[in-house]
Structure 1
Amino acid sequence: MNYIKHLTGFFEKVSTDYDLNPTHISLYMAIFQLWNQNRFQNPISISRDELMRISKIASTATYHKCIKELQEREYIEYNPSFNPFKGSTLNVLNLDFYTKPIAKKDIKKIKNKAKTQLEFNLVNEQVDKQVNEQAVNKYQTSAKHVPYINNTNSINIANEQIQKNKRKEIKNKEDTEQKEIQKKRYEKKNKIEQSIPPDKNEVIAYFKEKNTPTIEAEKFYNHFESNGWLVGGKTKMKDWKAAIRNWILNSQNFSKQATQSFSGTNKPQPQHLQTSIHKNYGEPL
């Protein structure tokens, strides 16, 4: 195992993987350290606490997210153990395919020697990368040799453009969502305002829905039709259904007060006038 070639292949691969961030690289370096201590033998037994300590990852959720994404992108093969008394194991996948160009005559041989589907995918990915780089180099210059620094600058410019496009896409999405929210608010506001004054049949139907006599609907409609649908004679009505509910509550309160005034001690009694019963009409006024 040549760890120099492996690390070179890792950084070649990660330089074009735009979804990875420094946390993924830090975690992979911690895994590489444990792999080094195990003399680069697979599989290795790992400890979540130890990897988090070495990679300086403080969140368990972040750790699991990063290790899952490293596995999806074929950097590692993670075998979790759900037994608290048995540690999880991990295979570090070979990344030497990314360190040197593959000759066309050797592609078929390497594919035949690939033992697993993961290795086969790595070979295909390296071949595609080699073809793309050749096309880029041919487009940039007609010289036989392209300086490495120019190639690096081209990659950096491409990465920067991709990140800029992503930020622009996110901003456009946020602007679109904000416009939709404002549009819905405006439509909701206009819908309420346009429903005033309501149709008389709608008012009667709503009174019936509240089990209130139709005469009350007539009183309500005539009252507010006469004052221009103003609440308290000043404020423009916003919700006529809420006004009907208040009207019903107030009418019930008036009915109770009227009933109480004509019952009990308040009921008018005969011969309780403020005059004497036996009046002498001979006396002067």
Structure 2
Amino acid sequence: MEQVNYIKHLNAVFLQFSKDGRLNPTHISLYVALFQLWNNYHFPMEFYINREEAMRFSKIGSKTTYHRCIKELHHWKYLLYEPSHNPFKGSRIKMFNFGTSDGQALYQNPTNIGTSNGQAVVSINKHIQTGKNNTNDTKLDQPKNENEVIDFFEKENWPELEAKKFYNHYQGIGWKVGGKTKIVDWHATARNWMLKADEIKEEKTMVAVSQNTDNLKTSSNKNYNEPL
């Protein structure tokens, strides 16, 4: 069992949330739900989750949104997520301790989840400074041109038309999320675009199926001469 200061952890992680322009309310809701499950299990080093339970706690109704958010929280180093493809075994989660007394956050290589020698302690300030240095080395706030976006979408197996839609949309609003927050990593923004496009397709398919369903199951060739 890991020693976790409930208040310090939440204060630290919400401070980090406030600085991270990539997050939306769904990410935060899911993180809080996972933190509550972690708390219920008395803060073990790692634990297993049930998707339906996590979705119910976080008030997320779409499986696509749930998977997108938990993968992004993993990618952005808020937690470690190891999905399970076994219906009888939940996915494995490791929460980073943001509330350590010396102002440090735990970082662990995702490939070494659950192993003691795969864990390292990294200073939050050092981590932030490293992030700034990396940003200076490789700027991902916006692509160089439309062709770069098309190449990226093609690598992700998405059509050129969708790449042009993405480029024209964000080029028109100055490469800002919601027209306000400057994009930090346009690759991540593009992947969000793709996931949301999938969600829209899924919703349209569900609506089409619903509209084509004859709920009354009536026959179009009804004989009205038959007695009731």
In the superposition, the TM-score normalised over structure 1's length comes to 0.39
In the superposition, the TM-score normalised over structure 2's length comes to 0.48
Which structure's relative contact order is higher, taking Cα pairs within 8 Å and 6+ residues apart? 2
Structure (1 or 2) with the larger CA radius of gyration: 1
Larger helix proportion, structure 1 or 2? 1
